[in-house]
């Protein structure tokens, strides 16, 4: 009942011991907004509810529902060192899959775990890095004389943080008299 007049003759409410809930027809909302008192007639009992403040509460909920959803924050860019480590890791990943390089099961498992963790961070640049790896002009497979360097780079990738790995690779590239734009593994 709303202000002593029957609004809905029979209606189902669900209770959990502390609250009652129901869905009311949209046509009833204007009557509820105008009412001062709501009475629930239950089997063997009545419940009186003061509806003062209900119009304000309803309007607040309506405004919240109508408020534009804020855009998701832009993904944060990973650091240059992490991007470099991921790029070199992706090159190593291709070499491990395509080339005759020696790796143990333990190394492959650790490598897969680390490269996947880095891949999750690369959201904004992952596609660009994948394209760069696919179009890399350098041979993916290390030659016989470079297999030892590959093993050292692989161990460094597995043992060091991305920042430390990038620093080691930069140092090696600087020491390499024939350094190229892409640091050699």
Q: What is the mean pLDDT of each run of 10 residues along the chain (185 residues)?
A: 81 79 82 81 73 79 78 82 93 89 91 93 88 77 87 94 94 73 50
The pLDDT of residue 30: 85
The pLDDT of residue 13: 77
The pLDDT of residue 162: 95
Residue 51 and residue 36 in contact, taking contact as beta carbons nearer than 8 Å: yes
Strand-strand pairing, 14-15 and 37-42: unpaired
The pLDDT of residue 161: 95
Residue 101 and residue 141 in contact, taking contact as beta carbons nearer than 8 Å: yes
Cα separation of 185 and 168, whole Å?
10
Point out which residues pair with 45 in neighbouring strands.
Answer: 42
Answer positive or negative: Cα dihedral of 74, 80, 86, 88.
positive
């Amino acid at each position: 009942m709303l202000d002593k007049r029957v609004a809905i003759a029979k209606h189902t409410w669900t209770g959990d011991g502390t609250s009652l809930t129901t869905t009311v027809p949209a046509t009833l909302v204007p009557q509820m907004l105008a009412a001062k008192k709501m009475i629930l007639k239950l089997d063997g009992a009545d419940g009186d509810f003061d509806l003062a403040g209900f119009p304000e509460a309803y309007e607040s909920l309506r405004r919240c529902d109508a408020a534009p959803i804020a855009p998701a924050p832009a993904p944060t860019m990973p650091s240059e060192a992490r991007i470099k480590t991921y790029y070199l890791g992706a090159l190593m990943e291709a070499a491990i899959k395509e080339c005759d390089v020696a790796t143990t099961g333990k190394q492959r498992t650790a490598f897969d775990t680390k490269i996947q963790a880095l891949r999750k961070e690369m959201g904004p640049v992952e596609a660009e890095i994948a394209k760069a790896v696919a179009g890399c002009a350098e041979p993916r497979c290390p030659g016989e004389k470079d297999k030892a360097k590959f093993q050292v780079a692989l161990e460094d990738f597995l043992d060091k943080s991305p920042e430390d790995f990038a620093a080691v690779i930069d140092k090696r590239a600087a020491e390499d008299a024939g350094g190229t734009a892409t640091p050699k593994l």
